[in-house]
Amino acid sequence: MVRLLPKEVKFFEMFEQMSSNLVLGASEITELLREFKDTADHVKRIKEIEHAGDDITHAVFVKLNSTFITPFDREDIHLLASSLDDVLDFINAAADRIMLYKITAAPAAAYEIAKIIVKQAEALGRAVKNLEKLKDVLPHCVEVNRLENEADRVCREAIGRLFDTEKDPIALIKIKELLEVLETATDKAEDAANVLETVVLKSA
């Protein structure tokens, strides 16, 4: 008689850690963009959060390579971990731009997009929390996708205004790049939501 091995469920716990860490990173960049006070401290904390995220992502990959039976497809586990990590990477990239380009102020749209990233991170957290039971995951994925569309609109409109009002071409390039990096973080959150949706649909 073949003995059935239990599925390794620790992945769900690790994904919850990743999503919680992502909320921290998103909240930190939002606070930075709100007032541009204590910028260096915020950037330092974002880097610490991003490093913690890298550690969790690495742990997922190590666990994946050493686990015989996974709770869902290996490829999807890898994609979900990578996608969640990508969001944090672009949050960190935005913080890097602020320091590198010595940005001391940004359009209100940058703060608005950062707040959208927080909402996406929270929605992803709720989806991940429900993933093990495969219940009430899809509505949160839909919300993440809706928020990405909102961020895309905010970014497009802000860049349009920037070209109309900013007379300094160097400043224009700096702010445009910051806005685009923040918007890309929302794209990566949508990628994570799409992976979650795939996992649910495959299990239906």
Single-letter code of the amino acid located at 176: K
Q: How many domains does the chain have?
A: 1
Q: Would you state the structure tokens that stand for residue 102, as one six-digit string?
A: 């010595």
Q: What is the mean pLDDT of residues 41-56?
A: 98
Q: Is pLDDT above 80 for 5?
A: no
Q: Is pLDDT above 60 for 168?
A: yes
The pTM for the full model equals 0.94
Sign of the Cα torsion 84, 48, 32, 126 reads positive
Query: Residue 197 falls within a domain, yes or no?
Result: yes
Query: Residue 2 falls within a domain, yes or no?
Result: no
Residue 40 structural domain: 7-203
User: In whole angstroms, what is the distance from residue 132 CA to residue 159 CA?
Assistant: 41
Query: Residue 1 falls within a domain, yes or no?
Result: no
Q: pLDDT grade, residue 130 (50/70/90)?
A: very high
Q: pLDDT grade, residue 47 (50/70/90)?
A: very high
Looking up residue 134, the CATH number of its domain turns out to be 1.20.58.220
Q: Would you state the structure tokens that stand for residue 166, as one six-digit string?
A: 């900013």
In the prediction, which pLDDT does 68 show?
A: 87
Query: Residue 33 falls within a domain, yes or no?
Result: yes
Percent over 70 (pLDDT), the chain: 97
Q: pLDDT grade, residue 203 (50/70/90)?
A: confident
Query: Residue 168 falls within a domain, yes or no?
Result: yes
User: In whole angstroms, what is the distance from residue 67 CA to residue 12 CA?
Assistant: 14
